[in-house]
Chains A and B, each alone.
Chain A
Amino acid sequence: MYDSSKIIPGLIIFVLFVTIPIWYNHGDAGAAPEIKLPQDAKACVRPTAEMRASHMQLLNQWRDEVLRDGDRGTIEVDGKHYKKSLMLTCMECHTSKKQFCDKCHDYASVKPYCWDCHLAPVE
């Protein structure tokens, strides 16, 4: 190879440069977000692990059932009835969007468009 003394160091510098994000943040994923859980409610409509993993699917399912199928029936959990609604059910207990929704969404860098239209609780 001609000019290998220039090309090889050049390649090494290039690879190091493009992988800056990996080695710069290596072993440091940042502190996991601590969310504020509601004080007065003990149970959610689904188990915590399930909510954490698939609350977005549940919200979409509720939306389709209520709006498209017109099925506005409540869901019963431990004898309590809940409406299928983000604004009227979820945010009744999770009274702070900033302390609950945004904490994880910011950490995971996801930007759901719920609040473009839906009204977050007043804080």
Chain B
Amino acid sequence: MDKKRRDFLKVAGISTLAGLGGTAVVDRLVSGTHPSVANASGGHGEEHAAPKEEHAVQEAPKTGKRYGMVIDVKKFQEDPALGERISRACIQAHNIPEFPEKKDEIKWIWMTGYENAFPEKSTLYKDETTEEHQVPVLCNHCDNPPCVRACPTKATFKNKDGIVIMDFHRCIGCRFCMAACPYGMRSFNWRNPRDFITEVNRDFPSRMRGVVEKCNFCAERIGVGQKPACVEACGDTGAMVFGDLNDPESEVRKLLKENYTIQRRPSLGTHPSVFYIV
């Protein structure tokens, strides 16, 4: 075959140019069609789209439910046994295993020091009650939950009532959600939890080794019109009040209107649905 180097370089050069130029032209054509389509369908919709999205991030949606909770820390200070009662109620309701070693621990709701719950607050000179007492912590059921964004299988998701729950069937145990949660409210089953459940509740499943779990706001109970187990354990004390934050007439909204409340790490923009009266 008689092929000259000069001819080969000519063909190669032209095809390179055609390749580069061709993709550029195609890209231009594709991106060129998009704005015209949007304009045709929405008229002035485009300029409103961006601020609307920002608005959605900053404020809770006005329609639909958003379950939340108001916790009165003072009631927990008055009754030191209350903290143990609520975590016990949760353990029984959800078949939470109790491992002998702390590193295996599974926790949904528990009592912790004030500075752990609210690390952004100054604790340089704490008053005596804050020093002596603990604060209950649980999943905040954020309106903008980072764990949901991190989950690769959509095992963690926000349901129609604004509760961040887990579909354990889908959890692959990657623990991205644990890294994403800025509150550390998730636990991982390092061991098979079956043998470490002290009191079995036959109305609720257990979990298996290799899944993450956390508070589900008792979705299975509120779905049938009951209160969450921890709220029920508080009885008439009013230490924990559960309700719809989007309903202006609800008890939680009344409490929020009457009391000064704080949220955990509000600067992160996760919009927690759990409020604390301190």
Mark A residues whose CB is within 8 Å of B.
Answer: 63, 66-70, 72, 87-88, 113, 116-119
- Known contacts: A67-B165, A67-B167. The answer to whether A119 contacts B159 by CB under 8 A is no
**Is B261 in contact with chain A by the CB < 8 A criterion?**
no
What 1/0 mask marks residues of chain B from 176 to 220 whose CB sits below 8 Å from any chain A CB? Answer: 000000000000000000000000101101111000000000010
Q: In the complex the two chains form, is A119's CB within 8 Å of B219's CB?
A: no
Determine whether the beta carbon of B205 is less than 8 Å from that of A68: no
B223 touches A70 (CB 8 A): yes
Task: List residues of chain B with CB within 8 A of the CB of A67.
Answer: 165, 167
Residues B159 and A68 in contact, CB atoms below 8 Å apart:
yes
Cβ of A116 and Cβ of B224 under 8 Å apart?
no
A70 x B205 contact (CB < 8 A): no
19 A-B residue contacts at CB 8 Å? A67-B165, A68-B157, A70-B160, A70-B161, A70-B219, A70-B223, A87-B205, A88-B203, A113-B208, A117-B168, A117-B206, A117-B207, A117-B208, A118-B205, A118-B206, A119-B95, A119-B200, A119-B205, A119-B206
In the complex, the chain A residue whose C-beta lies closest to that of B192 is A116
Q: Quote the shortest CB–CB distance from A62 to chain B (angstroms).
A: 12
Distance in angstroms from A90 CB to nearest chain B CB is 13
Given contacts A116-B208, A117-B207, contact A68 B167 (CB under 8 A): yes
Dominant secondary structure of chain B at its interface with chain A = loop
Q: Given the known A-B contacts A68-B157, A70-B159, A70-B161, are A87 and B203 also in contact in the complex, defined by CB atoms under 8 Å?
A: yes
Contacts A116-B208, A119-B202 supplied; 4 other A-B pairs, CB < 8 Å: A67-B167, A72-B223, A87-B205, A119-B206
Give the complex CA separation of A118 and B206 in angstroms: 6
Give the docked Cα–Cα distance between A117 and B224 (Å).
22
B10 in the interface, Cβ–Cβ < 8 Å? Answer: no
Residues of A within 8 A of B44 (CB): none
**CB distance B205 to A117 under 8 Å?**
yes
- Among all A-B residue pairs, the 3 with the closest Cβ atoms: A116-B208, A72-B223, A117-B205
Q: Does B169 contact A (CB under 8 A)?
A: yes
Q: Which of B159, B205, B223: most chain A Cβ within 10 A?
A: B205
The smallest C-beta distance from B182 to any residue of chain A, in angstroms, reads 25
Give CA–CA (A88, B157) in the complex, Å.
Answer: 24
